[in-house]
A and B are shown apart, each in its own frame.
Chain A
Amino acid sequence: MFTAITQSQIYVLDQDEARTFYVDVLGLDLHTDTDLGLMRWLTVTAPGEPGRQILLEKPGPPSMDESTAEQVRELVTKGAMGGWLMLTTDDCHATYEKLLAKGVEFTDEPTEKPYGVDCGLRDPFGNRIRFGQLYTPSG
């Protein structure tokens, strides 16, 4: 039986920029940033939750050919790439105000829903991130 989700992945177009955004702007913890030579393993976690890492991976060779990588990059910038994240916060409105002041691009303002308060933003590349204050963990 599976017991946890430990790692998941989204595509970013520039790992320096991704690190700045996810760590310095959103306030996630840097878990690992290692240049493996063949690739840079860059993962972040929610503060205090080291058990689940998000890999911020750059599409490109040798994992995929240049033209495929270009297609992936175009999909990310169209907001059409599959990966997205839902983060939990203890105060949706306060987090929203804080991030708005830092210039984060929001797609949805905090809204009351039957399952909690949530809102949505874009990362600098076009990925869709949501965060919310959920009434139940399964949201």
Chain B
Amino acid sequence: MSRAVEESNRRMLRVRDRMDRCYAQPSDLAALARSVHVSRTYLIRAFRATFGETPHQYLRRRRVERSMDLLRETDRGVTEICMAVGFTSLGTFSRTFRDIVGESPTDYRRRVGRLPVPTCFAKSWLRPSPFGEASGDVAE
């Protein structure tokens, strides 16, 4: 039983890693499911059981987190950043950003500047969370 859980965890982790790498591409759950030899329905259920949210919710947060990074670390425009992280409309991006972060991309950029920590650390800890721990706030 336990080994089956480990095998499933590892598959779901592969899927999550793939989303981490390919977040800017159009979401294709069927292809993700095929890459770990499970059905689309099984993928959604197993991913949620493993990580507490659906692949779609994770990908949304991942894209928003990447946009937060670009807002902090670059001077690129909001529309350009929206497209760069995989959103196809500025309206959807702004609404999703506000839902998840609680403020607009422009306000976020104004409030939070560059951070003096390794990117991998910022990536894991600044990613907005559905579990309530990370609000995107940064101590001054």
Asked if A17 lies at the interface with its beta carbon under 8 angstroms from chain B, I say: no
B119 to chain A minimum Cβ distance, whole angstroms, is: 5
State in angstroms the CA–CA spacing of A80 and B13 once bound together. Answer: 10
On chain A, the residues within 8 Å of B20 by CB distance are 107-108
Chain B at the A interface: mostly helix, strand, loop or mixed? helix
On chain B, the residues within 8 Å of A108 by CB distance are 20-21, 120
Interface size class of B (residues with CB under 8 A): 10 to 19
Report yes or no: A74 in contact with B6, Cβ–Cβ below 8 A: yes
On chain B, the residues within 8 Å of A73 by CB distance are 2, 6
Interface size class of A (residues with CB under 8 A): 20 to 34
Which of A21-29, A48-56, A94-102, A109-117 contacts the other chain?
A109-117
State in angstroms the CA–CA spacing of A38 and B43 once bound together. Answer: 40
Asked if B118 lies at the interface with its beta carbon under 8 angstroms from chain A, I say: yes
Report yes or no: B17 in contact with A105, Cβ–Cβ below 8 A: yes
Q: A105-B14, A118-B118 are in contact. List 20 more A-B contacts (CB 8 A).
A: A13-B6, A73-B2, A73-B6, A77-B5, A77-B6, A77-B7, A77-B9, A77-B13, A78-B9, A79-B16, A79-B17, A106-B21, A107-B20, A108-B20, A118-B120, A122-B13, A122-B17, A126-B10, A126-B13, A139-B118
